[in-house]
Amino acid sequence: REIRVSEQEAVQAAKRLRASHNHPVGVSAGAVFAAAEHISDQEEGTAVILFPDSANRYTHLLGRAP
Task: Report the Cα–Cα distance between both ends of the chain, in Å, rounded.
Answer: 36
Question: Predicted confidence band at 4 (pLDDT cuts at 50, 70, 90)?
Answer: very high
Q: Are 65 and 47 in contact (CB under 8 A)?
A: no
pLDDT tens profile 14-55? 989 888 988 788 888 899 999 999 998 888 888 788 887 665
Q: Are 33 and 14 in contact (CB under 8 A)?
A: yes
Q: Does pLDDT of 5 surpass 90?
A: yes
How far from 9 is each of 4, 32, 45, CA to CA, in Å? 10, 10, 23
